Chains A and B, each alone.
Chain A
Amino acid sequence: MLNLGFISFAAPWVLAAAAALPLVWLLLRLTPPAVTQIDFPAIRLLFDLDPTQRTTAHTPPWLLILRIAILALVILGLADPILNFRRGDAAQGPLIVVFDNGWASAPTWAARQQALQDTLDGAERRQQPVVLLVTAPASTEAPAPKLQPAADAARAQQIVPQPWSTDRALALKQLQALKLSSPASSVWISDGVETPGARELAAALAGLGTLNVIEGEATDAPLVQYPPERSAAGGDAIASNVNLKLARVATRATPQSGAMVRALDSDAQVLGRTPVTFAPGATEATAVMALPSELANRVARFDVDGLASAATTVLADDQWQRRPVGIASASIDGITAPLLEDAYYIEEALGPFAEVRAGSLDELLQRPLAVMVMAGGGRILDAEVARLTSWIENGGMLVRFAGPRLDGNVDPLLPVKLRGGGRTLGGAMSWSTPATLAPFPENSPFRGLTIPDDITVESQVLAEPSADLAGKTWVRLKDGTPLVTAQRHGQGMVVLFHVTATPEWSKLPLSGLFVDMLRRLVDISQGVAGGPSEDMSNAVLAPYSLIDAMGRLTTPGPMVRPIPTRDLAGAVPGPKTPPGLYGRAGATRALNLSPALGDLAPMEFPVSAARTSFSGVASERAMKPWLLTLALILLLADLFISFALRRLIPERMPLTRAPFLRGGMGALMVMIVLSAVAAGAAEPRRDIDPVVRSSILEPRIAYIATGSPDLDRIAQSGLDNLTSLLATRTAVELALPLRIDLNAPGLTTDSLTPFPMLYWRISPATAIPPAKNMTALNDYLKRGGLVVFDAPDQAGAVGGGEPGAAHARLDALLRLLDLAPTTEMAPDHALTRSFYLLQNLPGRYADPGVLVERGSNGNDSGSSVIIGSSDWASAWARDGNGNPMYAVVPGGERQRELSLRAGVNMVMYALTGNYKTDQVHLPSIMERLVN
């Protein structure tokens, strides 16, 4: 190993070949270059040139330099130079690598992994055996580390950061179990946080040989966020304060740093943000985040923006949001009189939203409570006043209602001074009418709730006017007297409703506003931390979701054990009990990493240890592949150059020949476009009949198969004739008519929609299609299609049986469809003027009327059915020679012409709807009618 400055050579003997370079130079210089061959007609003049005047050729100097450079690069590359080789590590003996992958390593994980990789690469290069000690193993049953070649060590361990503290004592034990003899150099990639056993481990490593410590910068010191606490925001009933506390690993020299703490809800929406600043040299910092209570109740976690780690993430469990409500009533157990009882309305209002407990005051106060409602308006006994006061000071909310016994200042737990006597409004003996509510004042937490019109207050207790009455009033009547007042006591508050909780004094408890108000009150109260709602203190909590070292929520693996509830408070997160949420949905408890961490102290290393930081460690870099690649590129360039010099590169490369290029590019473009079209068109196709699919682009009318081949033939030829007539006389160019079988099993609305008009010739023998297909037909009608029902039942009608039988069949079919009521076609219906001006729509038979949907003349989309019995198809049909198939009755050929016109009108009606009913056309129509 040859070391020259910052480059070291792994195979220095190859450099001896560089001595041959001057020789090669000479050789290359003397060798004449390759000849270029040129055809020349005047060659005779080149024969017999005077040789004394001819000089010999030499390789051009720049080509010489290029070739020498290639050779030099090859020699250098083969000598395997390495940049930034760590000198002093060229030791014999094994290499011990201690890798800290606890919670503190997560923010700088990428740099740590790179440092580990570099270390292992270096060991592999020097062929040192390596033992890798990981101080936060994933499970305690991991196999003990042993000495192994560096390549195996790199592959064997899949190291990930873990969300718990490192266990250096365990690493020390494993080291001692290996019984290594010195000298053994060691590298410690450390996270800088002191834990028990760190000093001993450092001492042991220093004793075995040289110790290199690689650690992060001082500015990347790990941060810890402790679980915040809620407190009341002074003066504002709606907001609450969240007291944040952060700690960092710092010495006196650490400069000022800041962090942004965010509060997120369960959908990862940011609810609030607060910057926290560490003073220079400080290890702790606090801040206060002010949040409205409703938002504070929604918080699911607190974390630090930009520093994702398990120690900066604090999960808020259900206790953050739990608000048990206790209703204290004076009713004796056993007497229940619903609708008269005080607590009834409150229970009904709050029951669906909150956890409601009933009982006497004593019982309720034994367990943590967020809101206490005293439904019966009465005095609180002195003994209870003290207990309640302390409970309120600690953050409880007392909601009281008035009653006949709340007369004057009966006890100290009232928000305002009350005037004795109260008042009655709108009674039999008073002049006034019952009062209604005024809009909520600015400072009221009920702002935003809608006040129904029918809330009246007949009776209330009155408050003594005072200077701060306006500030304490949350709800007022129209004349300004307070209805609901509240006052803060310490961290909690007392709220007084000046009416009863029953409808005796007011209609408020009967209204929805009462429910909203009580919900608001519960929302702005503080949550309690206490036992779960069911008394499950002996229960065991299963892991619900865990956080990994980066602070992300993950599902728990199979190796995580459940925790008994009583152990949760003091549990230390580790491999068996990772931090996260335990319990089940709705009753989760959080096990956070930060409370278990204790004080953070920076780690101290022995003086003999060499300390570098990640950025300071320049990774070793082998130059060999780069140099050899460069030599190869230059060699190719040299080849190209020598070809060019000898004029071996053809003048016209086939690719630059324009027609070829155009052809090739054109083919390429076509292929690209085709593939794009194919990709775009590779959507799943619905299986529609291909002929039907083709009708989307080529419109055509269709007839519904009647089941009798004769009738089908008539319909086909009739519609053929109509189509060709349309093509000649109008602008409508349809394709050939199609036969549709309504009895087919695979029929969908999509199969019918492409057709503007469907013609259905109904005879007594027509089968009734299955319900699904009739539904499809119904959808077709609703989407704007037109169906022409033709059910001739005159005696002697084609395909007809008894008179009336076809009509009966038509009735049966129409009953299966959802049609608007039909009516006779009026003489000025759009059908009579949509192309030709007609009086009626004759077919083979002249007289029968035509039914259309009622109200379709003014309707935008027109009628969706035309029901007739004139037998149009027979009038239109022609046989093979072009002669009409059937005679028309009674009118003759003129009537046939009119029936064809009727057909044209029908198709135009199907295509244009009620266009012709617009008054714009009326003058021209009148003109034509007159003429």
Chain B
Amino acid sequence: MSVAPRHEDQHRLLLEANAVAAGMPPLLVAARRIAASVTLGSHGRRRAGVGDSFWQFRPYSKDDTPQAIDWRQSAKFDQVYVREREWVAAQTAGLWCDTSASMRYRSSPKLPTKAERAAVMMLALAELLVDGGERIIVLSNEGRPQRSATAGRLAIAHLADAMTADLSGKKAMNNAPEMPSFAGALPRHSTAVLFSDFLAPVNVIAESLRTLMRTGIKGHMIQVLDPAEETLPFSGRVRFVGLEQEGATVIDRTEDARAQYMQKLAAHRSALRDLAASAGWSFGLHHTDHSPQFAMAALHNAITGFRR
């Protein structure tokens, strides 16, 4: 694959993400428990460490350097005190976007593919997180971290790079699993944001998310769907072919099958919501014909824990 189109795609992706993220305040992940990291962030770790804000005064011991002595405090009392600061650390957020074959679908050329839209939202989210000082771990399609957690603009760049590579890469292999297993991908108590269409059976999804849920990771699921998948606007005699080799089926009168399909879709979605609720995760829905702003706002709220 030549370099130039990829750069173009990347550029375009970044521009779109910029547009989406514009106008939103930097994102600070609400977390009671912060994943262990040494990156300077904004979350107080309630212990002494590297940081800015005051933690406590401690009597001087001979292990401390004399430069750490707080003379003002010491003057007030007889003992010599050392000022300790709070360990503020950045929260780690893991971002995963599903770029399998089913995500590369769009029902009309005017709409973006689901994967593109998800990538844009993920990039926007990453920008907001980085602005808020958090760390980002980019998870590949198979659920592996692409590199170690990074913060700052470099993270965005890496993310954009990874996304364009995924979006323009070859389709998934035949025997790729539908949902990746995220075993050991993220440190404990970090945050995970998952963009996918979640059309796999609910038990398969539950299985793949189990490890994440067990390690106390606070997750946010966003289901990105095409409007055609929501409403089944086809008519007549149609042979539907699955994109990930699920098979094909012929429906004689699609108009009549529509009601049933929507029922099944709603059932699937409610099962997903239950799964999320059971682990304390949030679940969001986004259709590609709507603007990503709304979904982003909802996601923003969910991540910052803002509840009215």
Given the contacts A39-B105, A41-B243, A56-B252, A46 and B237 also touching, CB distance less than 8 Å: no
In A24-48, the 8 Å CB interface with B consists of: 32-47
Query: B242 interface residue, CB < 8 Å from A?
Result: yes
Query: B247 interface residue, CB < 8 Å from A?
Result: yes
Q: Nearest B residue to A42 by beta-carbon distance? A: B229
Please tell me if the beta carbons of A45 and B265 are within 8 angstroms of each other in the complex: yes
CB-defined interface of A42-75 with B at 8 Å, one 1/0 digit per residue? 1111110110011111000000000000000000
Which of A32, A34, A36 is most buried by chain B, counting CB atoms within 10 A of its CB?
Answer: A36
Our pick among B109, B237, B240 for the contact of A33 (Cβ within 8 Å) is: B237
CA distance A44 to B238 in the complex (A): 15
Q: Nearest B residue to A56 by beta-carbon distance? A: B252
CA distance A37 to B250 in the complex (A): 9
CA distance A56 to B254 in the complex (A): 10
Our pick among A40, A56, A645 for the contact of B253 (Cβ within 8 Å) is: A56
Given the contacts A35-B237, A38-B240, A42-B265, A49 and B251 also touching, CB distance less than 8 Å: yes
CA distance A55 to B238 in the complex (A): 13
In B61-110, the 8 Å CB interface with A consists of: 101-103, 105, 109
CA distance A46 to B242 in the complex (A): 10
Please tell me if the beta carbons of A37 and B261 are within 8 angstroms of each other in the complex: no
Our pick among B105, B236, B264, B268 for the contact of A41 (Cβ within 8 Å) is: B105
Our pick among B109, B236, B242 for the contact of A43 (Cβ within 8 Å) is: B242
Measured as residues with beta carbon below 8 angstroms from the partner, the interface class of chain A is 20 to 34
Query: B153 interface residue, CB < 8 Å from A?
Result: no
Q: Nearest B residue to A651 by beta-carbon distance? A: B109
A35 surroundings in chain B (CB, below 8 A): 237-239, 250
CA distance A53 to B260 in the complex (A): 9
Query: A928 interface residue, CB < 8 Å from B?
Result: no
Which of A35, A46, A57, A651 is most buried by chain B, counting CB atoms within 10 A of its CB?
Answer: A46
Query: Whole-angstrom distance from the CB of A231 to the nearest CB of chain B?
Result: 92
CB-defined interface of A69-111 with B at 8 Å, one 1/0 digit per residue? 0000000000000000000000000000000000000000000
CA distance A44 to B246 in the complex (A): 7
Query: B277 interface residue, CB < 8 Å from A?
Result: no
Please tell me if the beta carbons of A46 and B251 are within 8 angstroms of each other in the complex: yes
Query: Whole-angstrom distance from the CB of A530 to the nearest CB of chain B?
Result: 97
In B153-194, the 8 Å CB interface with A consists of: none
Our pick among B105, B234, B242, B252 for the contact of A32 (Cβ within 8 Å) is: B252
Please tell me if the beta carbons of A41 and B251 are within 8 angstroms of each other in the complex: no
Query: Whole-angstrom distance from the CB of A326 to the nearest CB of chain B?
Result: 103
A41 surroundings in chain B (CB, below 8 A): 101-103, 105, 197, 199, 226, 229, 242-244
CA distance A478 to B260 in the complex (A): 124
Query: B305 interface residue, CB < 8 Å from A?
Result: no
A686 surroundings in chain B (CB, below 8 A): none
Our pick among A38, A44, A53 for the contact of B239 (Cβ within 8 Å) is: A38
Query: A179 interface residue, CB < 8 Å from B?
Result: no
Q: Nearest A residue to B199 by beta-carbon distance? A: A42
Please tell me if the beta carbons of B256 and A54 are within 8 angstroms of each other in the complex: yes
Query: Whole-angstrom distance from the CB of B161 to the nearest CB of chain A?
Result: 26
B109 surroundings in chain A (CB, below 8 A): 651-652
Q: Nearest B residue to A35 by beta-carbon distance? A: B239
A42 surroundings in chain B (CB, below 8 A): 102, 197, 199, 225, 229, 265
Please tell me if the beta carbons of B268 and A45 are within 8 angstroms of each other in the complex: yes
A53 surroundings in chain B (CB, below 8 A): 256-257, 260
Query: B249 interface residue, CB < 8 Å from A?
Result: yes
Query: Whole-angstrom distance from the CB of A648 to the nearest CB of chain B?
Result: 13
Our pick among A40, A55, A56 for the contact of B242 (Cβ within 8 Å) is: A40
CA distance A32 to B229 in the complex (A): 25
CA distance A652 to B102 in the complex (A): 23
A50 surroundings in chain B (CB, below 8 A): 260
Q: Nearest B residue to A36 by beta-carbon distance? A: B238
Given the contacts A54-B251, A54-B253, A45 and B246 also touching, CB distance less than 8 Å: no
CA distance A57 to B256 in the complex (A): 10
A54 surroundings in chain B (CB, below 8 A): 251-253, 256-257
Given the contacts A45-B261, A45-B264, A38 and B241 also touching, CB distance less than 8 Å: yes
Query: Whole-angstrom distance from the CB of B54 to the nearest CB of chain A?
Result: 54
B252 surroundings in chain A (CB, below 8 A): 32, 54-57
Q: Nearest A residue to B108 by beta-carbon distance? A: A651
CA distance A33 to B252 in the complex (A): 9
A34 surroundings in chain B (CB, below 8 A): 237
CA distance A43 to B248 in the complex (A): 8
Our pick among B225, B234, B248, B261 for the contact of A49 (Cβ within 8 Å) is: B261
Given the contacts A39-B243, A45-B265, A645 and B236 also touching, CB distance less than 8 Å: yes
Please tell me if the beta carbons of A38 and B261 are within 8 angstroms of each other in the complex: no
Query: B59 interface residue, CB < 8 Å from A?
Result: no
B280 surroundings in chain A (CB, below 8 A): none
CA distance A57 to B257 in the complex (A): 12
In B203-249, the 8 Å CB interface with A consists of: 225-226, 228-229, 234, 236-244, 246-249
Please tell me if the beta carbons of A40 and B256 are within 8 angstroms of each other in the complex: no
CA distance A46 to B246 in the complex (A): 11
CA distance A143 to B178 in the complex (A): 96
Our pick among B101, B200, B241, B247 for the contact of A37 (Cβ within 8 Å) is: B241
A40 surroundings in chain B (CB, below 8 A): 105, 228-229, 240-243
A32 surroundings in chain B (CB, below 8 A): 237, 252
Please tell me if the beta carbons of B197 and A36 are within 8 angstroms of each other in the complex: no
Query: B201 interface residue, CB < 8 Å from A?
Result: yes
Please tell me if the beta carbons of B261 and A43 are within 8 angstroms of each other in the complex: no
CA distance A57 to B236 in the complex (A): 7
Please tell me if the beta carbons of B236 and A33 are within 8 angstroms of each other in the complex: yes
Query: Whole-angstrom distance from the CB of A848 to the nearest CB of chain B?
Result: 75
Please tell me if the beta carbons of B237 and A43 are within 8 angstroms of each other in the complex: no
B246 surroundings in chain A (CB, below 8 A): 43-44
Please tell me if the beta carbons of A37 and B260 are within 8 angstroms of each other in the complex: no
Our pick among A33, A38, A49 for the contact of B260 (Cβ within 8 Å) is: A49
A33 surroundings in chain B (CB, below 8 A): 236-237
Which of B103, B226, B238, B248 is most buried by chain A, counting CB atoms within 10 A of its CB?
Answer: B238
10 interchain pairs, CB-CB under 8 A? A36-B236, A37-B241, A38-B241, A40-B242, A41-B226, A46-B257, A46-B261, A50-B260, A53-B256, A55-B253
Binding site for A on B (CB under 8 A): 101-103, 105, 109, 197, 199-201, 225-226, 228-229, 234, 236-244, 246-253, 256-257, 260-261, 264-265, 268
18 further A-B contacts with Cβ under 8 Å, apart from A33-B237, A42-B265, are A33-B236, A35-B238, A38-B240, A39-B105, A40-B105, A40-B228, A40-B241, A41-B105, A41-B243, A42-B199, A43-B241, A43-B246, A43-B248, A44-B201, A44-B242, A47-B249, A54-B252, A57-B252
Question: Top 5 closest A-B pairs, CB basis?
Answer: A41-B102, A43-B242, A57-B237, A57-B252, A35-B239
